[in-house]
Amino acid sequence: MNDVFSVEGQSVIVTGSSQGIGKVTAERFAEQGANVVVSSRSTEKIEEVVAGIEASDAPGEAIAVECDVRDRDAVESLVDAAVAEFGSLDTMVNNAGASFMAPFDDISENGWKTIVDINLHGTFHCSQVAGGVMQEQDGGGQIVNLASVAGTEGSPRMSHYGASKAGVVNLTSSLSNEYADHDIRVNCIAPGFVATPGVASQMGVTADEVDRSSVARRMGLPEEISDVIQFLASDASSYLVGETIEVKGVPRIGETEPDLR
**Would you name the residues annotated as active-site residues?**
161
- Would you tell me how many other CB atoms lie within 10 Å of the CB of residue 240? 15
3-state secondary structure (DSSP) of residue 97: coil
Report DSSP state, residue 234: S
- Report d(CA 178, CA 242) in Å as an integer: 10
User: Left if phi > 0, otherwise alpha if psi is -120 to 50, otherwise beta: which for 235?
Assistant: alpha
Strands (E), the chain: 11-14, 35-40, 62-66, 91-94, 141-146, 184-191, 193-194, 219-220, 244-247
Q: Please name the amino acid found at residue 71.
A: D
Largest Cα span, the chain: 53
d(CA 258, CA 250): 10
Distance CA 233, CA 219 (A): 24
